Amino acid sequence: MRLTRLIMAIVAMAAVSPGLAARAAGFPEHPVNVILPYPTGTGPDTVMRLVGDKLKGYWGQPVTIENRPGSNYWSAVDAFKRGKPDGYTLFQTENWMIALQRHIFKKLPYDPDKDFVPVAPMFQATYFLTVAADSPWKTVADVVTAAKADDGNITFGSSGVGSAMHMGGAKLQNATGIKLTHVPVKETPQIFVQIANGELAMAFGTASTAGPMLRANKVKFIAIADKVRNPNFPEIPTFSEAGGPADFVHKSWLALYAPEGTPKAIVDKINADVSRALHEQDVEAKLASIGFTAWTSSPEELAETLAEETRAMGEIAKSQNISLD
C-alpha cells in the first residue's frame, strides 16, 4: 500500500541536514496559512482558530485561517495543492476525506497518498447511537432485534452519502448483518428534530450535533461507539455493554497536513507546537464543551492511523455499495 511507503518515507526523512535543521529552528519567519474545507463557526474552524491563537503566541507570527467549504472539499484541496512545501501552507481535514473519498469516487482531483504529508492530529469526536426520547429501544441489542424483524424498513439519518453519520450506519449494518434504510438530510440539526418527531428512527450523532435535542429531552443516547465510556456521559454504555458488536468504534478525527516535500524538521516543529497548544487548559476545556477530545501523537502514528482507517473504510464502502459516482 502506498500509505505504508508514505510512513517509511516520513521515517527516512528524520535525518535532516544542518541547513534544514536551522530552517526549522527559525520557523516561521512570516505568517502561516491554514486552509479548511469547513465554514466559519463550525467545530473544526473553532478549534483551528483556538490553536492558531496559541501558535501565534509561540511563534510571534500570525496564523491565518482560510475557509473554503463545499465542492466535496475539493476547492480547499485545490488551494492547498498550490502551496509550497515549506510549512507555510497547511490543510486541516477529517479522516473521511482522505480515507474514504478514494473508495467512493472513481476519480479524484488529488492523490490522497502523495499530496498530503501527515503533520499533527488535533481532536476526535465519538458518535452516540441516538433515538427518540420516547423510543422503546434502550440498548443496541433492541435496535438489532427490531431491525432483523423489520428487514430494511428501519431508517437512519445522515448528513449525506459518505458522511461520518452515513458511515456509522453502514458500519453497524456491516457488523451485525442487519439492513437499514439510509435517509440523507441536508441540514444536520434537522436529523435530530426528525428523530424526535418520529420521522426517522435513529442516527449516529456527536455530543455537539445531537446535544441541543438531547438537552431538550427530545432524543436519548443508548450507546457510545467506543471501547470505553465518555467521562462527560458516564451513564451511557459502550456498544459492547449495550449488547452490540464487541469493540465497535466510530469516530471522526481531524488532523493537519502539509504539501508533499515539506522538510521533516519543520513537520516535527509544527507537530510539537500544535500538541502543546491542544493541551493548554483553556483549549482542552473548550474542546470538552463542544464534545471533542484532544488527540496528539507523532506524524508517523498519524500516518499509521490513516492507513488503518483507509483499509477499514474501503471494506465498508465495498460491502455496502457506497458510491458517489
**Residue 19 — very low, low, confident or very high, per pLDDT cuts 50/70/90?**
low
- 217 and 147, same domain (yes or no): yes
Q: What is the pLDDT of residue 71?
A: 87
d(CA 3, CA 307): 6
DSSP symbols for 111-139: -TTTS-EEEEEEEEEE-EEEEETT-S--S
Classify the phi-psi angles of 261: left when phi > 0, otherwise alpha if psi is within -120 to 50, otherwise beta: left
Q: Give yes or no for residue 11 having a pLDDT over 70.
A: no
pTM: 0.88
What number is the average pLDDT over the span 241-259?
A: 96
- 14 and 68, same domain (yes or no): yes
d(CA 218, CA 193): 8
Least confident of 14-18, 152-156, 281-285: 14-18
Q: What is the pLDDT of residue 293?
A: 94
The beta strand positions in the chain, using DSSP E, are 32-36, 63-67, 89-94, 117-126, 128-132, 155-158, 181-184, 202-205, 219-224, 251-258, 293-294
Structural domain contains residue 233 = no
Structural domain contains residue 229 = no
Q: Can you say how many angstroms the Cα of residue 223 is from the centroid of all Cα atoms in its chain?
A: 19
- 101 and 145, same domain (yes or no): no
Q: Can you give 141-176 as a three-state secondary structure string?
A: HHHHHHHHHCCCCCEEEECCCCCHHHHHHHHHHHHH
Least confident of 23-37, 105-119, 132-146, 232-246: 23-37
- How many angstroms separate the Cα of 202 from the Cα of each of 32, 154, 167, 170? 42, 8, 14, 13
- How many angstroms separate the Cα of 159 from the Cα of each of 27, 46, 80, 151, 225? 39, 20, 25, 23, 18
Q: Which of 167, 168, 220, 216 minimizes the C-alpha distance to 195?
A: 220
- 109 and 153, same domain (yes or no): no
What number is the average pLDDT over the span 27-36?
A: 98
d(CA 149, CA 146): 5
Q: What is the pLDDT of residue 9?
A: 52
- 97 and 108, same domain (yes or no): yes
CATH code of the domain containing 49: 3.40.190.150
What number is the average pLDDT over the span 125-141?
A: 97
Q: Retrieve residue 52's grid coordinates.
A: 492558531
- 175 and 261, same domain (yes or no): no
Structural domain contains residue 241 = no
- 82 and 32, same domain (yes or no): yes
CATH code of the domain containing 219: 3.40.190.10
Q: Give yes or no for residue 8 having a pLDDT over 50.
A: no
**Residue 2 — very low, low, confident or very high, per pLDDT cuts 50/70/90?**
low
- 116 and 134, same domain (yes or no): no
| Number of domains forming the structure of the chain | 2
pLDDT digits (tens, 9 = 90+) for 67-116: 999 889 999 999 999 999 999 999 999 999 999 999 999 999 999 999 99
- 121 and 135, same domain (yes or no): no
Structural domain contains residue 237 = no
Q: Which domain holds residue 162?
A: 128-224
- 133 and 121, same domain (yes or no): no
Structural domain contains residue 244 = no
- 173 and 283, same domain (yes or no): no
Structural domain contains residue 196 = yes
d(CA 284, CA 94): 19
Q: Retrieve residue 121's grid coordinates.
A: 492530529
Q: Give yes or no for residue 204 having a pLDDT over 90.
A: yes
Structural domain contains residue 93 = yes
- 83 and 19, same domain (yes or no): yes
Q: Can you say how many angstroms the Cα of residue 77 is from the centroid of all Cα atoms in its chain?
A: 16
pLDDT digits (tens, 9 = 90+) for 143-177: 999 999 998 999 999 999 999 999 999 999 999 99
Residues contacting 101, CB < 8 A, separation 6+: 72, 73, 108, 112, 162
DSSP code at position 209: T
Structural domain contains residue 267 = yes
Residues contacting 324, CB < 8 A, separation 6+: 72, 104, 105, 161, 162
d(CA 150, CA 62): 56
Q: Retrieve residue 112's grid coordinates.
A: 490522497
Looking at 206, 224, 242, which one is the last position of a domain?
224
Q: Which of 80, 37, 78, 28 minimizes the C-alpha distance to 55?
A: 28
